[in-house]
A and B are shown apart, each in its own frame.
Chain A
């Protein structure tokens, strides 16, 4: 079945305006008769909840943490893009759109990406109105900085804590609506089932993480804003609770999962050090504005970095990509780091690190200027690594950071299941095969503040408000399924901890489905993953009980999902016989080792449908058509 993206007709720049006009409206007095469930309180979920409530809808909002202020959007450091063109350096909606679509290696949906650029300016205005303390210049106007993949300065920021400030802005609007009684907030809940009635999304079953009880919640529409699946690699920059659970539950109920193999490996993270390691810490990409990336020219050079003379250093990004240099996009920078390390030129105790050197910036601008820009990041590095980056270059290595793949959605951000909407990182639509820096915050807030409030109205208009009760048999059935799964996890009583199995599965994915992939490795990974999944269900050990707070139990459920989901990722990576963005298939590269796209055969979205446990998923295709940009070879040389 071909997928209908429901992209409106007409010229690109007029599509959204026209669509907003054509969407049906819900009468203000009727909005209060509808209930909307929002799962997740990151940028997308908080902004959606607040805005839907402002419009008058009854909103029920769920999050896994103890408070809606904690979701992992909060950790985004660098900034948020917008096409304001305040620095007068040639930016425009069109340029932001083009950079984003090119950055995504022409694998995103043109109309969605254009709309994202279009509403980017409104996001900044909205956040300023909320009291988000953006950085300002001496005249009191908003300041900008540069980010990877762009040659204009369009990134707005709050020191190194932009995500935090934007999230707290959305959280403040959400808090206001909670106080007004329009949002009912349910923290420490984990969504375990999506409930469909007559094929439409009508509610969810959640587990109360404090009491262990299952709760049923009914609604007229369900909005998932549950983030990405970067923790599929075990080690990632994601928070420990980030998981694919909610999206995967929806997939198992029939929602299509699009492009799961598109994952972003971020080039500037603190390298791995030991077996006990629980996460990898990101160092903001903004560091690449002033830091120069290098490795020794000769393999096996073990001298201290400051003892290696200029002539024996290889500033490989500047050498290979002279026009973008150290600001080459993330996928390219990451892959280049892997290449030089695989050549034996990596540094640090493991040989899997490269230098990020600030000496030139310190000499040019003075140590104080560098401290002012990056002080908190340098402190963080020193605390973790126990080394002073003002004196010795930082060591960095790529780590799993973001996932471009996600549940398939149409132009209205509705999945193929009616009434199920998916926002932010959890959907697939705007970033193609690679996301540019400072675009995740933009997309999360665009979806929540400016898109879903219109499109959900178009869905609800003309539909009778639901009179469902949560005792409908569909809820009982979903609760039974969730309960059975929990009981099964406890009953195994094996010999391996949840974390130890997750570490193994993460290693398999990193090795064979990480920064570069090939058919042989992927096929091997598929087998390894199936074996590991079997081992999990026979040998996992979940301690404690199911009637109080039990993190091991929560994690066991999430790892079970990851084990199954990994297989989907591998299948997608196998089927995509081309290289594009973050998906680098070794068989498909140019003589210079750059990614080689195959537009003739793979200019499409791969959307996968669940077909039962242990059976291969069914493939659906949305062909991507580009009416306004020419598919060019993505070059940053």
Chain B
């Protein structure tokens, strides 16, 4: 809004799929006079209002907070999960990043473990199931000691926070050639393995989360680093390395193995 308002004309090549059993196809939708200060999702809103008035079905897409933190939105834009900008969710992408005359391909996050619900919406509940397999500290309300009873060095707290910043959007899975969830799992394992609160269960957690991930149809990690490249929160693949160390420790060093 500080710079001049500009408009562009684009063509959306957007994935339409009625439901999980429908085959799906691309549909071309020309969109005129897109104000470049719009966000990508606001552009889709405008398209959807038009489709509605034309008696057609709007493009369904997941979204909620529209400020990059809830992890609900996401689509593959011109082949890149969440679009061309680094460290950004789809809802934060603005149309000023595109040029007049562009054709923009929009597809759902694709992975064996994520079924398409409709159009751009996929079912990411397998990520919840991985957390349920051990992504927590087994503490209950009532007995917590004073928050300052356990000093944690600033460096460790900051590293744990880096890992904890994951928003669970699934872009890492969509970007991975193996559709692996290793970055997602590695981030949670790292956060809890770094902190003293998480250490008692570290071995069991690493084993059971990995097992659950494989069981749900996610692939394995072959160090492609595509996940890190698309992660809107810039979660580092160092977390996968830390996960691997935890896994090895669990295998060799504890009774859990």
> Which residues on A are within 8 Å of B, measured CB to CB?
50-51, 54, 65-72, 74-75, 84, 86, 122, 124-142, 158-159, 161, 163-165, 168, 171-173, 175-176, 178-179, 185, 187, 210, 239-241, 271, 273-274, 276-279, 281-282, 348-349, 380, 383-387, 392, 395, 449-450, 453, 495, 497, 499-500, 541, 543-544, 548-552
**CB pair A136 B153 closer than 8 Å:** yes
- Is B221's CB within 8 Å of the partner chain A? no
Q: In the bound complex, what is the Cα–Cα distance between A51 and B144 (angstroms)?
A: 14
Q: Which of A137, A240, A282 contacts B63 (CB 8 A)?
A: A240
Q: In the bound complex, what is the Cα–Cα distance between A550 and B2 (angstroms)?
A: 36
B161 contact set on A, CB distance < 8 A: 133, 135, 158-159, 165
Please, what's the 1-or-0 string for B122-160, where 1 marks a CB less than 8 Å from any CB in chain A?
A: 011101100111011111110111111011111001101
Contacts A131-B195, A543-B52, A549-B60 given: A137-B154 contact, CB under 8 Å? Answer: yes
B49 contact set on A, CB distance < 8 A: 497, 499-500
**CB pair B70 A179 closer than 8 Å:** no
Q: Which of A67, A142, A549 contacts B148 (CB 8 A)?
A: A142
**CB pair A239 B147 closer than 8 Å:** no
Q: Which of A163, A164, A240, A550 contacts B64 (CB 8 A)?
A: A240
A240 contact set on B, CB distance < 8 A: 63-66
Which of A71, A135, A164 has the most C-beta atoms of chain B within 10 angstroms of its own C-beta?
A: A164
**CB pair B147 A543 closer than 8 Å:** no
**CB pair A66 B125 closer than 8 Å:** yes
**CB pair B64 A241 closer than 8 Å:** yes
**CB pair B60 A551 closer than 8 Å:** yes
A548 contact set on B, CB distance < 8 A: 18-19, 118
**CB pair A239 B60 closer than 8 Å:** no
Q: In the bound complex, what is the Cα–Cα distance between A66 and B56 (angstroms)?
A: 25
Interface residues of B toward A: which range?
A: 35 or more
B66 contact set on A, CB distance < 8 A: 239-240, 278-279, 281
**CB pair B154 A274 closer than 8 Å:** no
Q: In the bound complex, what is the Cα–Cα distance between A136 and B58 (angstroms)?
A: 47
Q: Which of B139, B157, B165 contacts A134 (CB 8 A)?
A: B157
Which of A131, A241, A380, A500 has the most C-beta atoms of chain B within 10 angstroms of its own C-beta?
A: A131
**CB pair A453 B141 closer than 8 Å:** yes
Q: In the bound complex, what is the Cα–Cα distance between A137 and B195 (angstroms)?
A: 16
Q: List 23 A-B contacts (CB under 8 A).
A: A54-B140, A54-B141, A66-B72, A72-B64, A125-B144, A128-B147, A133-B158, A133-B191, A134-B147, A136-B154, A140-B157, A173-B139, A176-B138, A239-B65, A273-B1, A380-B67, A383-B94, A453-B141, A499-B45, A500-B49, A543-B55, A550-B60, A551-B58
B31 contact set on A, CB distance < 8 A: none
A161 contact set on B, CB distance < 8 A: 69, 165
**CB pair A70 B64 closer than 8 Å:** yes
B45 contact set on A, CB distance < 8 A: 276, 278, 499
Q: Which of B69, B125, B158 contacts A187 (CB 8 A)?
A: B125
**CB pair A128 B52 closer than 8 Å:** no
**CB pair B42 A278 closer than 8 Å:** yes
Q: In the bound complex, what is the Cα–Cα distance between A86 and B149 (angstroms)?
A: 12
Contacts A130-B136, A549-B117 given: A380-B52 contact, CB under 8 Å? Answer: no
B156-192 contacts to A (CB < 8 Å): 157-158, 160-161, 164-165, 167-168, 191-192
B1 contact set on A, CB distance < 8 A: 271, 273-274, 348-349, 385-386
B248 contact set on A, CB distance < 8 A: none
Tell me the nearest residue of chain B to A278, going by C-beta: B42
The smallest C-beta distance from A137 to any residue of chain B, in angstroms, reads: 7
The smallest C-beta distance from B193 to any residue of chain A, in angstroms, reads: 10
Considering the complex of A and B, which 10 residue pairs feature the smallest CB-CB distances, nearest first? A140-B151, A172-B136, A129-B144, A125-B144, A133-B161, A179-B132, A133-B160, A273-B1, A239-B64, A128-B147
**CB pair A66 B123 closer than 8 Å:** yes
**CB pair A552 B58 closer than 8 Å:** yes
A163 contact set on B, CB distance < 8 A: 69
**CB pair A125 B145 closer than 8 Å:** yes
Tell me the nearest residue of chain B to A496, going by C-beta: B53
- Is B108's CB within 8 Å of the partner chain A? no
The smallest C-beta distance from A378 to any residue of chain B, in angstroms, reads: 13
The smallest C-beta distance from A54 to any residue of chain B, in angstroms, reads: 5
Please, what's the 1-or-0 string for B35-61, where 1 marks a CB less than 8 Å from any CB in chain A?
A: 101110111011011011101111010
**CB pair B152 A140 closer than 8 Å:** yes
B152 contact set on A, CB distance < 8 A: 136, 140
Contacts A69-B128, A140-B154, A172-B136 given: A544-B58 contact, CB under 8 Å? Answer: yes
Q: In the bound complex, what is the Cα–Cα distance between A549 and B61 (angstroms)?
A: 10
- Is B204's CB within 8 Å of the partner chain A? no
A51 contact set on B, CB distance < 8 A: 140-141
Which of A127, A128, A500 has the most C-beta atoms of chain B within 10 angstroms of its own C-beta?
A: A128
Q: Which of B65, B127, B198 contacts A131 (CB 8 A)?
A: B198
B185-210 contacts to A (CB < 8 Å): 191-192, 195, 197-198
**CB pair B118 A543 closer than 8 Å:** no
Contacts A51-B141, A86-B148, A383-B92 given: A179-B133 contact, CB under 8 Å? Answer: yes
Q: Which of B64, B117, B144, B192 contacts A126 (CB 8 A)?
A: B144
Tell me the nearest residue of chain A to B133, going by C-beta: A179
Tell me the nearest residue of chain B to A547, going by C-beta: B19
Q: In the bound complex, what is the Cα–Cα distance between A137 and B161 (angstroms)?
A: 14
The smallest C-beta distance from A450 to any residue of chain B, in angstroms, reads: 7
A185 contact set on B, CB distance < 8 A: 128
B35 contact set on A, CB distance < 8 A: 274, 276
**CB pair B65 A139 closer than 8 Å:** no
- Is B3's CB within 8 Å of the partner chain A? yes
**CB pair A239 B70 closer than 8 Å:** yes
B131 contact set on A, CB distance < 8 A: 69, 171-172, 175
B240 contact set on A, CB distance < 8 A: none
Q: In the bound complex, what is the Cα–Cα distance between A541 and B55 (angstroms)?
A: 9
The smallest C-beta distance from B11 to any residue of chain A, in angstroms, reads: 19
- Is B68's CB within 8 Å of the partner chain A? yes
Tell me the nearest residue of chain A to B60, going by C-beta: A549
Q: In the bound complex, what is the Cα–Cα distance between A274 and B63 (angstroms)?
A: 20
Tell me the nearest residue of chain B to A64, going by C-beta: B64
Contacts A128-B144, A380-B68 given: A68-B128 contact, CB under 8 Å? Answer: yes
B83 contact set on A, CB distance < 8 A: none
- Is B88's CB within 8 Å of the partner chain A? yes
The smallest C-beta distance from B206 to any residue of chain A, in angstroms, reads: 15
Q: Which of B143, B147, B150 contacts A84 (CB 8 A)?
A: B147
Tell me the nearest residue of chain B to A498, going by C-beta: B52
- Is B256's CB within 8 Å of the partner chain A? no
B70 contact set on A, CB distance < 8 A: 65, 70-72, 74-75, 239
